Amino acid sequence: MPTMYNITLKQGASPEQIDKAKEIAKSQGGTIKHEFTLIKGFTVEFPNEAVHTLQTDDHIHVEQDGEARTQHGRPPLSASTLFTSANFTLSLLPIRLAHRIQALRNLPFIVVSNPHISRIYNNYVHSLSTLLPYQERQINTLEEEIQFTEVMADLVQTHADTIPILARGFLECRKYISPVDVTGFLDEHLRARIGTRLIAEQHIALHLSSQPHCNGYDPYAQDGSSTSIGVIDTALRPAEIIRQCESFVSEICELKYGVRPTVTINGQPDTRLAHVPTHLEYILTELLKNAFRATVESGKEREPIEVTIAAAPDPDSSPPESTHLDPAKASSQEDSTTTTTPPGVTIRIRDQGGGISPKNINNIWAYSFTTFSDEEMLDLSNGNADALNAISGASGESSSLAGLGYGLPLGRAYAEHFGGSIKVQSLWGWGTDVYLKLMGLGKM
């Protein structure tokens, strides 16, 4: 299966070095797909992982397209490791931002001229221009690292509302671009955005949890008892996230409908895994929101929404016993395999809200597909979202997205970013089962 790679060269690389990198890529069977003008680099497609020669050149950085890695160990980090994290982040973000700028430029002119989409384009150009000066040097001092982290924080804040703004822009441009083209663009754009945002937030979190430059009390410092490594919680309990999302969605649901369905959790509620909490919060908020709405509008608000948690067995260990994963108790057991988190978790959300109609089931993964009426869509496009549609998701994803048809496809993008999935099984006339599969981020 062909694989896309981003090839970037150092800021001072000569045109001859760029041409040489292209020739090496072509000689290894690669095909040049994109060339960038704002930064020195290009995208190449290889039939297999044949980039070893390129990776040995000190002037060249090779990154698999869509890849978002986290490393550097458990906080607090030393100053030198923090510099490494900053330079690693800097090596990845410019090429990712350049990709997004190029993708926006490839849209029809009348679409890019829309004020909402034009605003996003200008945000990406501004962020890239802010980062480019840092590519000319390495970050080697605490002052430079602090300044760079402030730039990262500003970048994250600048792009916090990217998705709802894009949603409104494409809603206004429905006459000028087909739903298929919208879905194709957004699927690529939003998946890439997840990785880009994760890279930036990971360094910010590592910076705040290390703070080697601060004297005295530091509220972000970790004493060794924390289970977090940056934005990743290595002992995340999905059941706790489910309850948090349930509480939030229940209050909004009661505000709109006057009732709130109950949620029961069964299976293995004490299961833990290494994952990004904000990603799981967004996914579960969207799935519970859909289940609540379907349950109430079908008149089945007295029927509980059933959530089942099942931990995947570790293929490297013996079959698990029918006990809950509890790290506090596991340390006292002789079998060391019980101290590790499972390789993955499956969460089933079952409601009796009548299911999804056959005419809609094939469209649920399309961006901008919604069951809201035209009047409600008009209100949303004008910013008049009601209480239920004011649900905000994780990582700055505002839920003015609710009703705009972004919940399920964006939730699936979050799940698939680390190898998970979302599957929907509808029994029309009865209810819906949604299977959320999460892959743990290794044994940490």
Q: How far is residue 230's CA from residue 68's CA, in Å, rounded to a whole number?
A: 14
Q: Which of 133, 138, 131 is nearest to 155 (CA)?
A: 131
Beta bridge partners of 60: 9
Distance from CA of residue 175 to its chain's centroid?
Answer: 29
pLDDT exceeds 70 at position 392: no
Mean pLDDT of the residues in the chain:
77
Q: How far is residue 350's CA from residue 186's CA, in Å, rounded to a whole number?
A: 28
What does the buried/exposed string (b/e) look like for 124-154 if buried means 16 or more CB atoms within 10 Å of the residue's CB?
Answer: bbebbebbeebbeeebeeeeebbebbebbbe
pLDDT for res 342: 66
Residue 306 in contact with residue 261, Cβ under 8 Å? no
pLDDT exceeds 80 at position 362: yes
Rounded mean pLDDT, 418-428: 93
Most confident of 62-71, 87-96, 383-392: 87-96
Q: What is the DSSP string of 163-227?
A: HHHHHHHHHHTTTTS-HHHHHHHHHHHHHHHHHHHHHHHHHHHHHHHH-TT--S--TT---S---
Rounded mean pLDDT, 298-317: 86
What does the buried/exposed string (b/e) look like for 294-307 if buried means 16 or more CB atoms within 10 Å of the residue's CB?
Answer: bbbebebbeeebbb
pLDDT in tens, 216-229: 434 444 445 578 88
Q: Which of 234, 233, 238 is nearest to 349 (CA)?
A: 238
Residue 4 in contact with residue 42, Cβ under 8 Å? no
Rounded mean pLDDT, 371-379: 47
Q: How far is residue 401's CA from residue 289's CA, in Å, rounded to a whole number?
A: 12
In eight-state DSSP terms, residue 231 is: T
Q: Which residues fall within 8 angstroms of residue 217, CB to CB, at 6 or more apart?
A: none
Determine what percent of the chain falls in helix, strand and coil, rounding each to the nearest 5.
50, 15, 35
Count of CA atoms in the C-beta half-sphere (13 A) of 187: 13
pLDDT for res 163: 86
Q: What is the DSSP string of 284-311?
A: HHHHHHHHHHHHHHTT-TTSPEEEEEEE
Q: How far is residue 393's CA from residue 411's CA, in Å, rounded to a whole number?
A: 10
Rounded mean pLDDT, 291-303: 92
pLDDT for res 137: 80
pLDDT for res 349: 97
pLDDT exceeds 80 at position 265: yes
pLDDT exceeds 60 at position 321: no
pLDDT exceeds 60 at position 21: yes
Residue 110 in contact with residue 176, Cβ under 8 Å? yes
Q: How far is residue 382's CA from residue 397's CA, in Å, rounded to a whole number?
A: 18
Dihedral sign computed on CA atoms, order 228, 232, 238, 244: positive
Q: How far is residue 135's CA from residue 132's CA, in Å, rounded to a whole number?
A: 5
pLDDT in tens, 125-145: 999 999 988 877 888 888 899
β-pairing, 273-275 with 344-351? unpaired
Q: Which of 112, 108, 12 is nearest to 58 (CA)?
A: 12
Q: How far is residue 220's CA from residue 205's CA, in Å, rounded to a whole number?
A: 9
pLDDT for res 215: 46
pLDDT for res 159: 92
* pTM assigned to the model: 0.71
Q: How far is residue 122's CA from residue 266's CA, in Å, rounded to a whole number?
A: 47
pLDDT exceeds 90 at position 440: no
pLDDT for res 370: 53
Q: What is the DSSP string of 95-127?
A: HHHHHHHHHHHTS-HHHHTSHHHHHHHHHHHHH
Share of the chain above pLDDT 90, in %: 37
Going by pLDDT thresholds of 50, 70 and 90, the confidence category of residue 332 is very low
Cα-only R_g, the chain: 23
